[in-house]
Amino acid sequence: MTALIDTSASEPRFGGVPLAAIVHACHEKTVDAGLAALALPGLDRATLEPVLTYCAELRCETDAVTCPGCKRQTEADGITSLDDFIRRHEEIIVGDGAVRLKGTGTGVLTTPALAALEKTWSGENYWFWARRVLRKLRHGIRRAHIRGNAIAPPGTTPSVILIEPQLPDNIGMVARACANFGLDDLRLVDPRDGWPNEKARIAASGANYVIDDAAAYETFDAALSDLNWVCATTARQRDLRKPVLTPQEAVAEMGRRIAAGQRCGVIFGRERNGLETHEVARADAVVMIPVNSRFASLNLAQAVLILGYEWMRNSGAATLGRVTTFEAPMQSGLYLGDQSPATREELFAFFDHLERELERQGFFSSPDKRPSVVNNLRTMFLRAEPTGQEVKTLRGIVATLAKGKAVTPKPST
């Protein structure tokens, strides 16, 4: 089957398409969605496996070929640093073109930001991606068996709206935060890497139902069209005459409105620079999270997590930790399990036992101080709030010490 892979040129191809493009499509999406997007004659699940195996096992090294954008090609070209990479180009245009990096090579490259260039200049480990897709092809998606369920009817929890999210991993981590705190409606406005996205599913770490139900919208207006009230999160002050709310206040407002039959949402901005002022202007209120004033920027999933935590705490549906067939809901405070605090009868019997043995051993050397010492001892043990089992253990300790039983250590061999 590997004969179908063309290595006659400088890069391995299948059906005229570089193997890297095939691996990328099946890694970014599900295997079936990737195959459908590629629509290559002769490429299906059966023929995909040898294609992935060729890449995963680095057979390209033997054939002396590499794919565009692969880290192997960067290494073969002798590019070992970002400076080398820039030098190999005639020009690299950053963002809107206000920043341009001049090199001594050929070709013009565009990049959305210097940070993105710093992460991608060395190329992708396509062989590693191929191994992951190969595992899914053979064994299915990890955690595919995990199926959560929305905890509330549609419209009864705030919608989470991500504006132009850049990294699929961040979308997945947002989905996980949503599942943690019962925010079931995730909306994406023009995600950079398209939707659905397999990287996001992996990062969601089991929050599959949020990922499966997430909807992508082409425009900001479309994502908000059915909502009655929305708030926008920001760390920067805006010259807008709008209510400024803490997460706790925003959640209380949304809870009140949702109870009245309205639909609400929270808008989160881009990883790189958050929301634009004109986007914040279209919200009903601004939400600002209490932070260190000298380091106010939050990771996207962290911001969603904080709002989600406040929502769950305010909803009354939260539990401390998980609840399963074998684990009952927990309450804050001292955990006693199936035990209970000692009764006064058990405690008083212990006090009598302890004081009797201390008297016998001559502990109360000053009779006039005996009452205050006894009071201190009783107060100390009462403050500890021992269980009935713990009192029995204490009495066993006192009895053993009172007998003075010595245990002879065994001779070492």
pLDDT value at residue 68: 82
Token pair in block for residue 331: 């309450």
Token pair in block for residue 375: 């009071």
**351 in the same domain as 275:** no
**279 in the same domain as 387:** no
Token pair in block for residue 384: 């500890």
Does residue 269 sit within a domain? yes
Does residue 151 sit within a domain? no
**304 in the same domain as 206:** yes
Nearest CA to 60 out of 120, 133, 136, 130 is that of 130
pLDDT value at residue 338: 79
Does residue 187 sit within a domain? yes
Token pair in block for residue 323: 């609840």
Roughly how many angstroms between the first and final C-alpha of the chain, as a whole number? 67
CATH number, position 304 = 3.40.1280.10
**Is the four-CA dihedral 137, 138, 141, 145 of positive or negative sign?**
positive
**87 in the same domain as 216:** no
Whether this prediction's pTM lies above 0.75 is answered by no
pLDDT value at residue 95: 87
Q: Which domain holds residue 19?
A: 1-77+122-140
**104 in the same domain as 31:** no
Q: Looking at the 3D structure of the chain, how many domains does it have? A: 4
**189 in the same domain as 279:** yes
Does residue 145 sit within a domain? no
Does residue 327 sit within a domain? no
Query: Quick one: three-class SS letters along the chain?
Result: CHHHEECCCCCCEECCEEHHHHHHHHHHCCHHHHHHHHCCCCCCHHHHHHHHHHHHCCCHHHHCCCCCCEHHHHHHCCCCCHHHHHHCCCEEEECCCCEEEECCCCCEEEECCHHHHHHHCCCECHHHHHHHHHHHHHHCCCCCCCCCCCCCCCCCCCEEEEECCCCHHHHHHHHHHHHHCCCCEEEEECCCCCCCCHHHHHHCCCCHHHHHHCEEECCHHHHHCCCCEEEEECCCCCCCCCCEECHHHHHHHHHHHHHCCCCEEEEECECCCECCHHHHCCCCEEECCCCECCECCCCHHHHHHHHHHHHHHHHCCCCECCCCCCCCCECCCCCCCCCCECCHHHHHHHHHHHHHHHHHCCCCCCHHHHHHHHHHHHHHHHHHCCEHHHHHHHHHHHHHHHHCCCCCCCCCC
pLDDT value at residue 1: 46
Q: Could you tell me which residues come within 8 angstroms of residue 238 by beta carbon, excluding any fewer than 6 positions away?
A: 277, 280, 281, 286
Quick check: 105 and 89 in contact, CB under 8 A?
yes
Token pair in block for residue 155: 């419209």
**104 in the same domain as 34:** no
Does residue 150 sit within a domain? no
**131 in the same domain as 191:** no
Give per-10-residue mean pLDDT for the chain (413 aa). Answer: 74 89 86 89 90 90 87 86 90 89 90 83 87 81 56 84 94 94 94 88 86 93 96 93 96 95 96 92 96 89 95 77 62 77 94 94 90 94 93 94 70 60
Does residue 250 sit within a domain? yes
Beta-carbon count within 10 A of 256 CB = 12
**250 in the same domain as 219:** yes
How far, in Å, CA of 299 to CA of 184, rounded? 20
**175 in the same domain as 126:** no
Does residue 329 sit within a domain? no
**281 in the same domain as 191:** yes
**206 in the same domain as 252:** yes
178-203 pLDDT, tens digit per residue, is 999 989 899 999 999 889 888 898 88
